[in-house]
Chain A
Amino acid sequence: MSQTVAESTAQDSKVQTIKPASPWRLAFKQLLKNKFAVGGLVVLVLMFLICFIGPFFSPYSLETMNIRNGNKPPNAAHWLGTDNLGRDILLRVMLAGRVSLLVGLVAMMISVAIGSTLGALAGYYRGWVDSIIMRLADIMMSIPSLPLLIILGAVLSDMKVPPDKRIYVVMFLLGFMSWPSLARLVRGQILMLREQEFMQAAEVLGLRDRRKIFRHLLPNTIPIIIVVATLMVAGAILQESVLSYLGLGVVPPTPSWGNMITAANNLIDFQKRPWLWVPPGVCIFFTVIAINVIGDGLRDVLDPKMKR
């Protein structure tokens, strides 16, 4: 008998040293079993490394122009060739990637911050708070976003916002346009969660509303927020590309994948100089696919109800 007691205490002390198996750790382990998601993760990490560290190894700089060396196809000195002003395409693709990825991430964060907070408030307080927030979301969702973004972009051009500040405006615009869908999802989850017994326990303990919303309710919606946020990054990168392609988003000289593709507008460039527009196109394609695949993988892991 005493032996079993000793054993169990030994076991206990062993258990003690093992880190608590948090739900996140378990979820991440499961994600690693999904080959597509791992592939997406690898592509995305590579993309980040190339865009954020790559430029430091480039012998060229964004400003150096050499018109005599313009429009050269890929060669040993310029791996992806040069554009009409003789700038290195590889360097521009990498720097454009910084801009595009950053726009995607920041737009997502803005959208998540607005969407999850408003969704949580609507779901927790219900009544008129809910009505106001959800009608606002309905209005936002019933406005076609692309025409609106084009108009806003045109207004920006009219207001002569300096090119280097435009990135921030674009980030904010994209973030502000995409919060309603997340707010709806979060609200639905909160409506369900607030009826759970642990919320009654929180009420009996007399916790403040702030704690109930941000410590008890929102953390339980994080799986869904993560999935949606991941897909939002892809969406924001795409939308930024579209806007920039139309000349309404990030404008030259700041490079972005979208405004680099503008080269394809020119028939000669389109037919004879594919190195101008293929690399940024390929980057957008792979980044967006990678993020979407990761998003789907996360959805399978974090949101078991959505499983096929």
Chain B
Amino acid sequence: MSQQPLLEVDNLKKYFPIQGGIFSRTVGHVRAVDGVSFSLNKGEALGLVGESGCGKSTTGRTILRLLDKTDGKVLFKGTEIHDLSRKDLRKMRPKMQLVFQDPYSSLNPRIKIGDAIGEALVDHGIASKNDIRDRVKEILTICGLAPYHIDRYPHEFSGGQRQRIGIARALIMNPEFIVADEPVSALDVSIQAQIINLLSDLQEQKNLTYLFISHDLSVVEHLCNRIGVMYLGSLVEMAPRDELFKQPLHPYTQALLSAIPVPDPTKKPERIVLQGDIPSPANPPSGCKFHTRCPFATDICKQAVPEYRDVGSNHYVACHLV
């Protein structure tokens, strides 16, 4: 396929300065995202998993330029997002949307949901004021809410409904690319399933492209056709879903997969339990970042950074032992 990918991320880095001392000098950097590369084709859904603080959300937000990158490239349809002027960026915004983790703080408590969903259309001059109510009602129905909800305030909705509102707000702009930043982790399990089904239906209908960020592998398994595993700011493994679940190559991925609960009491789970805590991203270990917790670590892991390479059939991994 010589088709241009919708999104290309190349060696993306995002460092946060640590300020200290009397004159608040920069004394170091938190390497939240440290060289992430991947590309996404139209209609694909990429899941990004990893434990808390590994830089998943920061990656998503830097791609959308909610945060400024430190280094690397973010090409959306061949355009570098971080080089756009404010005016051009504003025009580009509708095409890339974000669904938030917390359905409570992501809705302005003083704005009726109809206005919250429709206002971007007004602001961008996409629809006239008369059409907007109809379009908002339409999108509310698509997202599983009722048209008469349009004049209600956010506090009148439950968490799951609010998440639907958040999705509706992103969808009304007719985006091509959606970053979903842990959209279900604040919801209880039955509601999680509904929201995931909604997202997957929408993807089919509108041929959407997702970057789905989660710490829950079973959630990602349902929705994504490719999965990337992050550890301490870097991708350690990325593969098509089935391949990754059948044949995980990186020890960290193997440990994550073994932690998925199996709903079968007769089966004794073989859990790989990782020792120790995740190291500080301000002072990451030398060589392979995972060597401090890796059960198979050898001397080379401490010294050399493993190359992130293709091991065949679109399966990428960064490990010396593979």
Q: Is A147 an interface residue (CB 8 A)?
A: no
A201 within 8 A of B: yes
Do A23 and B153 have beta carbons less than 8 Å apart?
Answer: yes
Q: Which of B22-53 contact A (CB under 8 A)?
A: none
By a CB distance below 8 angstroms, the chain B residues around A211 are 119, 123
- A208 beta carbon closer than 8 Å to chain B: yes
Judge whether A201 and B110 touch: CB under 8 Å.
Answer: no
Contact between A198 and B151, CB atoms less than 8 A apart: no
Interface string of B70-106 (1 = CB under 8 A from A): 0000000000000000000111111011101010011
Q: Is B111 an interface residue, CB under 8 A from the partner?
A: yes
State whether A220 and B109 are in contact (beta carbons under 8 Å apart), knowing that A197-B102, A200-B100, A206-B90 are contacts in the complex. yes
In terms of DSSP, what is the predominant structure of the interface of chain B? mixed
Check B89 against A206 for contact (C-beta < 8 Å).
yes
Which of under 10, 10 to 19, 20 to 34, or 35 or more describes the interface residues of A?
20 to 34
Is B56 on the interface with A (CB-CB < 8 A)? no
Chain A residues near B106 (CB-CB < 8 A):
197-198, 200-201
A168-224 residues with Cβ-Cβ distance < 8 A to B are 196-198, 200-208, 211, 215-216, 219-220, 222
Question: In the complex where A198-B105, A206-B89 touch, is A20 in contact with B119 (Cβ < 8 A)?
Answer: no
Counting CB contacts under 8 A, is A4 at the interface? Answer: no
A294 vs B117: C-alpha distance in the bound complex, in angstroms?
36
Q: At the interface, yes or no: A21 with Cβ under 8 Å from chain B? A: yes
Asked if A20 and B105 sit within 8 Å, CB to CB, the answer is no
**CA of A216 to CA of B169 in the docked complex: distance in angstroms?**
15
Evaluate contact between A205 and B94: CB separation under 8 angstroms.
Answer: yes
Q: How far is the CA of A16 from the CA of B152 in the complex (A)?
A: 10
How far does the Cβ of B146 sit from chain A's closest Cβ, in whole Å?
7
Asked whether A12 is an interface residue with its Cβ less than 8 Å from the other chain, the reply is yes
Verify if A22 is at the interface (C-beta below 8 Å from B): yes
A-contacting residues, B164-181, CB 8 Å: 166, 169-170, 173
Nearest opposing residue in chain A for B102, CB measure? A197
B151 / chain A contacts, CB cutoff of 8 Å = 20
Instruction: With both chains docked as a complex, state the minimum distance between the C-beta of B116 and any C-beta of chain A, in angstroms.
Output: 8
Given contacts A197-B100, A211-B123, whether A204 and B112 have CB atoms under 8 Å apart is: no
A215-236 CB mask vs B (1 if < 8 Å, else 0) is: 1100110100000000000000
Residues of B within 8 A of A219 (CB): 110-111
User: Which residues of chain A in 44-74 are interfacial with respect to chain B, using CB atoms and an 8 Å cutoff?
Assistant: none
Contact, CB under 8 Å: B148 / A16: yes
Q: Mark A88-118, 1 if CB is under 8 A from B, else 0.
A: 0000000000000000000000000000000
Instruction: Provide the bound-state CA to CA distance between A211 and B124, in Å.
Output: 11
Of chain A, the residue at the smallest CB distance from B67 is A200
User: Once bound together, how far apart are the Cα atoms of A175 and B133, in whole Å?
Assistant: 40
Interface check B107, CB cutoff 8 A: yes
Of the candidates A22, A198, A205, the one whose C-beta lies within 8 Å of that of B153 is: A22
Is B139 in contact with chain A by the CB < 8 A criterion? no
Q: Is B120 an interface residue (CB 8 A)?
A: yes
Rounded to whole Å, the gap between the CB of A293 and the closest CB of chain B is 26
Can you give 5 contacting A-B residue pairs, CB < 8 Å?
A: A12-B146, A21-B156, A197-B100, A200-B100, A202-B108
Instruction: Enumerate the 4 nearest inter-chain pairs by beta-carbon distance, A residue then B residue, closest first.
Output: A206-B93, A205-B120, A197-B106, A198-B108
